[in-house]
Amino acid sequence: MHFDGGDARVPHTSLPFAHQATVLPSPTECILIWEASISCNSCHSPKGGESEEDMYRDAEEIEREKELLVCGTGTSVFPENKLSVAPEVDIMDYCQKEWRGNTSSAKRMRKGYEAVSQKFISIRRVRGDNYCAVRATLFQALSQTLQTPDWLQREDILLLPEKLMAKYVWITEWQKPTGKAENWTDEIKECLLLLKQKWESISAAKILTEKQAACDELFRGEEDEYSLYEAVKFLMLNTAIKLYEDNEKGLEVPEFSWLLFARDTSSNPFQLMKNHLNQLGHTGGLEQVEMFLLAFALQHSIHVYRLYKYGTDEFITLYPNHPREGWPVVTLITEDDRHYNIPVRMCEETSF
């Protein structure tokens, strides 16, 4: 089967169950600049003129790092102590530092953070490039894992690239942020193997601090970290293909898959790969409907506190809408539906 590709991307799709909202640059309190940017790169900037470590890199710096990795240096442009997920800080201390003003936006954010603080004590900032949604989700999944997921233990998991290549020639159009993959099946197989090995290794850690330390070591902007993202992107593509084929056969599919393929730029899996997944981590992040695809690909429920939606029934959004039995839960925080941070240390005797 051959799917024709499309060209240009379109703005974020407005979903009935996860509405796209006006973007509030975080933590800047001026909401008038949001139309100038659609990427995670510019969704956060320190305010108050305070000097602090900047985790939010521009596109040039990301590309310079990728070039170093491709050249085989195995090194990063970041200092050794610069993590892709920053150490935890008290969530209300972070809120007061980031949202000090008296604008309606700042007041709403403070109320949102206060509500989150009833459940979680601390927050970890996530590096703000176009991988941030995938990075935050995968970091959470790995840092709290108790066992390797069944789907990742399947014997045929490493055969998926060859199976898809044999069925869909258009997969040769797969691109990494650094360019077209030279040997697609081998590269993706290596990425999947790395994901499996890392998940098994972290699952084997007996105590939480060991898991956290292993994740901190892995998420440092080095080659292994980006290889994990390639594996996740492939799993998203594989999931999308299955949903598309099931729908073509008249089988029941989750509602989000209709919306996923209703977009002009992703009417089929080929277009989804070409116009969206190929851009993920390079020129674009995840759109709202693709958060559902990420959840299904990893078989994890993603719960998101959407702070700018405080006071509405959309303050907490679930991907998928109805939790699947047996799926682990990861929790994220967003101020604008583009950049995601991680709440940690759940308060005693509370639940999401």
Which residues are designated catalytic?
129, 132, 339
What is the sign, positive or negative, of the torsion defined by CA atoms of 267, 283, 85, 34? Answer: negative
Q: Which residue has the tokens 């729908």?
A: 247
The whole-angstrom separation of Cα 23 and Cα 43 is 9
- CB atoms < 10 A from the CB of 148, how many? 18
The whole-angstrom separation of Cα 253 and Cα 52 is 46
Q: Which residue has the tokens 């898991």?
A: 211
User: What does the DSSP assignment read for 297-320?
Assistant: HHT-EEEEEEGGGTTSTTSEEEES
Helix, strand, coil share (%) of the chain residues, nearest 5? 45, 10, 40
Phi first, then psi, for residue 134 (nearest 5°) are: -65, -40
Q: Which residue has the tokens 């000097």?
A: 51
The whole-angstrom separation of Cα 173 and Cα 191 is 17
Omega prior to 320 cis, within 30 of 0: yes
Strand partners, 90: 122
According to DSSP, residue 323 is labeled P
